[in-house]
Structure 1
Amino acid sequence: MNCVFEFFRNHHILAIVEDALENKAYTLNLSRFQMTDIPDLVEKCETVMKLFLNHNHLTQLPDYLNSFHRLQILTLDYNHLQQFPTVICNLTTLRELNLSCNQIDELPPEIGRLTELEIFWCNNTGLTKIPQEIANCLRLETFGARGNQIDVLPTSFGLLHRLKWLTLENNHLKTVPSSIVALEKMVHLNLKNNHLTEVPTSLMEMKKLQFVFLNGNRIEAVDGEVLEKTKFIKMINLNDNPIREKTELMNQPHIVIDGSSVGNDSNNNGDDTSNDDEDIHNDSDLSDWENSVETSDIDTTDESTEENDIEDISVLIPELSRYITNFN
């Protein structure tokens, strides 16, 4: 790296941290600085609740993050982490965590200590399994682990009763546990490009479901009872499956197969995306959250005021869940 560039970059980083200290800021944005280490001065930023460290060259996190007892949002996507930083498990106030695009093949059992976690992204990390202890994250509403090597889900997944959005496309799943039937608030289920051989019968009981992506699996037939009892679902995408008998499926308004669309709704064209921004903002439970941008591209500006306390910021968290990393 050019030494002049490095000099100005380091001073810019320190200036940002010093400003956060002086203003007792709730937000500290140190993303996209090519940092290999986090400045020691950050340890003094005790008021920070949103810490953006994405798009850097970090290989580890400092132990002093243990003292960040107010931290609610932490983004670490697009770094060089080789394993899950254990210090994160001590950040028990976290509500949103993004670890996407690192080299993290395993989540520790201690992940269950993050009992306030609502949004968790670990896309494209090489993850091979999810520990049973994930069920302790009872507030989890959004979970994304695209582009990994997961071949089985823990049965404890059924205990995540608040889960609304589950995205596990491009993994190695052959089945899903029957316990997911208990996920009664599930709205969006993405199991695209896995190794499933049948439509999970659990879908018949998950009455809040609106969007289900099963395209790119190994499904050869669909049970008639499943067809009949899943009509409450707005869309089930079955494109790119080796289904033998397709005639009945093509006559079902909620089934997308071989490029067919659902009913007369042009937004549901079978590509698991929606371009209706108004729908996303006004009716989040009915929207398809696949059409999204990187989590790191959310507004990271600080709006700290005397009135802007922890409760004010927390109401923004659900809205942020639509800003996810989209891998095709």
Structure 2
Amino acid sequence: MGHKVVVFDISVIRSLWETRVKKHKAWQKKEAERLEKSALEKIKEEWNFVAECRRKGVPQAQYCKNGFIDTNTRLLEKIERNSVARQSAWVKDRDKRSDPFVFELSGTQWTELPDSLKEQTHLKEWHIHSTLIQIIPTYIELFQAMRILDLPKNQITCLPAEIGRLKNLRELNVSFNHLKNVPPELGDCENLERLDCSGNLDLAELPFELSNLKQVTFVDISANKFSSVPICVLRMCRLQWLDISNNNLSDLPQDIDRLEELQSFLLYKNKLTYLPQAMLNLRKLTLLVVSGDDLVELPTALCDASTPLKFVSLMDNPIDKSQCQDSDEILESEQDRQHFDKEFMKAYIEDLKEREAVPSYTTKVSFSLQL
């Protein structure tokens, strides 16, 4: 068998979180009293040790020996190195915030960009998030040095055509806004490397003109309404990461193997019933994440132990809202739900990548989570 990791019913975690969060404090107090009298102090010590190691960036292989936690492992030198690295990162982040070439804005008090911004055409980065801004002004074309447009979790309804004149743009993040289309002029940003349009919910297509983006290595269009993989994406010859999860895909194109550089392919929460034979031609694919409920056919060679592929099959069941929410709770927005799912999956994939080896077969196991 191949490298296969199976997670049973991701929605269970979500429903348990919502139904038991109010009981968390009471349970925590009772559990603390129980642990004081129990023989589980050793487990608690090991857990705290693992948590501390992870906070300090120590790989799992350093503190696990043959599957058992070794709290006697000497990690001081590694921890100190990571501490220095974190301090350096903090200084770098502090410098970034004071960088005269970086503009940052956040908070629901903002409904439009400040007028003074149009005079600062030397800026190279915009980081605007969690505001009520709906419009990106056309004067954005004046920012010819722009390299990063980071605009997540706003109320943006459209992007101006003038964005195509930003020839030095490397990253565009317009995730969790209210976009229904992307301007074809974006295809003129010939140096674009990362494109994130996830969580807009109603986005259903990308313009063919984006086929000109030959430098793109990362595309995230998850949590939208795509019924097929956009043609322009299939023509992005350097693409390494594609997330098209949580859409309306019923099948994959037979020429999916055009993406010869693809390494990570996320497809979960779609309506796929099979995976095409062409998937076997994706020689650099190392991570494939799909939903398992509807799949009835896939190339058996995907499970070949000789391949480097980590195949992750998730059991996705719809959440019963009547069971996972009390009557006095306010319904979350759909975007909040999608954001939660993406954060959970991101954490899971990061954990998967940390493992030095994945078992050749893992039985499906039902588990519960108490909070």
Per the TM superposition, whether the score is higher than 0.5 is: yes
SS in 2 for 1:274: helix
Which residue pairs with 1:59 in the alignment? 134
Q: 1: CA distance between counterparts of 2:171 and 2:162?
A: 15
Structure 1: gaps spanning 5 or more residues: 1-22, 243-268, 287-328
8 Å contact from structure 2 (residues 268, 314) kept in 1 = no
Deviation at 1:200, TM superposition (A): 2.8
2-structure distance, mates of 1:36, 1:124: 20
The answer to whether 1:160 aligns with 2:222 is no
Q: CA deviation at 1:122?
A: 0.9
1:182: Cα distance to partner? 2.1
Describe the shift of the 1:63–1:130 C-alpha distance in structure 2 as closer, same or farther (beyond 3 A). closer
Deviation at 1:132, TM superposition (A): 1.9
**C-alpha deviation, 1:111, in angstroms:** 2.2
Structure 2: runs of 5 or more not aligned: 1-97, 318-344, 358-371
Highest RCO, 1 vs 2 (Cα 8 Å, sep ≥ 6): 2
Q: Which residue of 1 aligns with 2:68?
A: none
State which structure, 1 or 2, has the greater radius of gyration over its C-alpha atoms.
2
**Structure 1 residues 138-217: aligned runs within 5 Å:** 138-216=214-292
Give distance in 2, aligned partners of 1:232 and 1:52. 40
Shift of 1:216: 4.4
Matches within 5 A, 1:88-103: 88-103=163-178
CA change 1:201–1:55 in 2 (3 A) is same
Residues 31 and 87 of structure 1, relative CA distance in 2, 3 Å threshold: farther
Tell me: CA distance 1:191–1:272, structure 2 relative to 1, closer, same or farther (3 Å): farther
Counterpart residue number, 2:193: 118
Secondary structure of the residue aligned to 2:117 is: helix
Query: Alpha-carbon deviations, 1:58-114, whole Å to 9, x = none?
Result: 111222211000101011111112223333222222111111111112222222112
Q: From the superposition, tell whether residues 207 and 39 of structure 1 become closer, same or farther in structure 2 (CA, over 3 Å).
A: same
Q: Give 3-state SS (helix, strand or coil) of 1:53's partner.
A: strand
Contact 1:128 1:150 (8 Å CA) reproduced? yes
TM-score by length of 1: 0.64
Task: Tell me which protein shows more helix as a share of its residues.
Answer: 2
Q: TM-score, normalised by structure 2?
A: 0.57
- On the 8 A contact 2:266/2:290 being kept in 1, the answer is yes
Query: Is 1:219–2:309 an aligned residue pair?
Result: no
Which position in structure 2 is the counterpart of 1:82? 157
Shift of 1:136: 0.9
2:118 paired with 1:69: no
Using a 3 Å threshold, how does the CA distance of structure 1 residues 234 and 226 change in structure 2: closer, same or farther?
closer
**Count of residues in Structure 1 that have an aligned counterpart in Structure 2:** 232
CA RMSD of aligned residues (A): 2.9
Give CA deviations for 1:210-253 in whole Å, capped at 9, x if unaligned.
1001124521133435544x8413311233389xxxxxxxxxxx
Q: Percent identity?
A: 24
Tell me if the contact between 1:178 and 1:202 (Cα under 8 Å) persists in the aligned partners: yes
Q: Aligned AA for 1:66?
A: E
User: For residue 349 of structure 2, what is the aligned residue in structure 1?
Assistant: 273
Corresponding residue of 2:13: none
